[in-house]
């Protein structure tokens, strides 16, 4: 026999003359009060239909959006908000606002437009890699430029697709990248192979000599394994100043984080000058 759970109605809710009780909408530990009539002093509870959704929300993917076209941004946000397992934690229309939000919110995934990503030679991607090391980036674009694709990948982007694509593709990209795998729309692959095979078009990694004297000092200390705070103390700088220098170093050398910067330093020791 199915067991029933009863809850005594609080003071002010009972009526001995059989008057209808007011509906109680409060959820209690995944159960919801059932509307009742009559002179009962008790109300039976039943499982809330939202129980499964509440459990699922605990595993949602946090996504931050950025696009310089507000109408497209609104459409993308509206679509993704309707999907189970995705939570939009913020939105921005430019790189500065995006970086501030991402640093504070630390989303799992950032979806941004190519026009924002490529400003200042993809510096926003290097900054995201420094300040949000666990955040993965998907780039959406209205056109295909294979060199932009290659450079964005080198700067740290893990996903790439057209704005005109079927909306389900962005869900595929999110799911794939969440699992730690890159996702590139198949229409880009031929152009990508063309530009990779044409080595004359691939930019040569910049020389370490492009760094300023201060930047080289900081890179040496990074290669020695010092933290930002230790570097700041050694050079009598603020931690924030060290972070700014590191962002510039990553950008100039085309690396994504301090580990890659240290590796670059060791590989190019012969280029060091006093």
Q: Write out pLDDT tens, residues 47-59.
A: 333 322 332 244 7
Higher-confidence residue of 48 and 164: namely 164
Domain with CATH 1.10.10.10 in the chain: 208-271
Mean pLDDT, to the nearest integer, of 126-137? 89
Tokens of 141: 């674009």
Q: What is the pLDDT of residues 11-69, one digit of tens each?
A: 444 444 443 333 333 333 333 333 333 333 333 333 333 322 332 244 789 999 999 99
What residues are paired with 87 via a beta bridge?
A: 62
Report pLDDT for 265.
82
- Given the candidates 3.30.565.10, 1.10.10.10, 3.40.309.10, 2.60.40.1930, the CATH classification of the domain at 208-271 is 1.10.10.10
Report pLDDT for 40.
36
Higher-confidence residue of 20 and 242: namely 242
Topology at the third CATH level for domain 60-201: Rossmann fold (3.40.50)
Buried b (16+ CB within 10 A) or exposed e, 63-101: bbbbbeeeeebeebbeebeebeebebbbbbbebeebbeb
Report pLDDT for 25.
38
Report pLDDT for 145.
80
Report pLDDT for 21.
37
- First-to-last C-alpha distance (Å) of the chain: 86
Mean pLDDT, to the nearest integer, of 153-181? 90
């Amino acid at each position: 026999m199915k067991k029933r759970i009863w809850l005594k109605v609080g003071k002010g809710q009972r009526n001995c003359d059989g008057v209808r009780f007011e509906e109680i909408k409060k959820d209690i530990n995944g159960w919801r009060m059932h509307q009742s009539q009559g002179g009962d002093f008790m109300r039976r509870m039943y499982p809330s239909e939202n129980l499964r959704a509440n459990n699922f929300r605990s595993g949602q993917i946090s996504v931050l959006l950025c696009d310089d076209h507000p109408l497209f941004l609104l459409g993308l946000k509206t679509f993704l908000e309707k999907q189970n397992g995705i939570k939009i934690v913020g939105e921005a229309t430019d790189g500065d606002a995006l970086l501030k939000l991402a640093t504070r919110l630390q989303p799992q995934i950032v979806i941004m437009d190519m026009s924002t990503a490529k400003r200042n030679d993809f510096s926003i991607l290097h900054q995201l890699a420094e300040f949000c090391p666990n955040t993965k980036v998907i780039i959406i674009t209205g056109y295909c430029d294979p060199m932009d694709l290659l450079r964005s990948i080198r700067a740290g982007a893990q996903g790439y697709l057209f704005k005109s694509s079927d909306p389900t593709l962005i869900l595929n990209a999110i799911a794939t990248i969440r699992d730690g795998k890159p996702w590139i729309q198949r229409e880009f692959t031929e152009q990508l192979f063309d530009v990779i095979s044409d080595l004359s078009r691939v930019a040569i990694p910049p020389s370490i000599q492009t760094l300023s004297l201060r930047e080289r000092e900081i890179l040496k200390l990074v290669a020695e394994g010092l933290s930002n705070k230790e570097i700041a103390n050694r050079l009598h700088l603020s931690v924030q100043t060290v972070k700014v220098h590191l962002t510039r170093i990553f950008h100039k050398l085309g690396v994504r984080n301090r580990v890659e910067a240290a590796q670059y330093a060791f590989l190019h020791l012969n280029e060091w000058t006093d």
